[in-house]
Amino acid sequence: MQTWNRWLALSSQAMMLGLEAQRVIALRMLRIAGGGAHGQAEAERMMTEKLAAFGEAQAAAVTGAIEGHSSHRIGAKVLNVYAKRVRGNRRRLAR
């Protein structure tokens, strides 16, 4: 596959992740706006998860760079970290 095709594929994956993340943001805001213990717990969980996801994504990027992966492959690894978390949150919040 040509390099520009790989970047195009990665870009479309990032776009789809962005759309799914918007759904999660909407669900999360509804939960937080509802207030109470559930809203407070969701706000706290959101901050904790964001920090953990950032650390995991950073570790994936550093590991990929040390292993000598190409930049688009490193980008894909980082994107997969966030995609896994977004999917999990969507499932949890949609219940």
Domain that holds residue 42: 3-94
Considering the chain, what percentage of its residues have pLDDT values greater than 90? 91
The pLDDT of 10-34, averaged and rounded, is: 96
Separation between Cα atoms, residue 78 and residue 56, nearest integer Å: 8
pLDDT, position 3 = 75
Tally of structural domains, the chain:
1
User: How would residue 1 be classed by pLDDT, with cut points 50, 70 and 90?
Assistant: low
Q: Bigger pLDDT: 95 or 83?
A: 83
pLDDT higher than threshold 70 for residue 71: yes
Structure tokens at 28: 């999360």
* Burial of 77 (C-beta count, 10 Å sphere; 0-12/13-18/19+): middle
Q: What is the pTM of this model?
A: 0.87
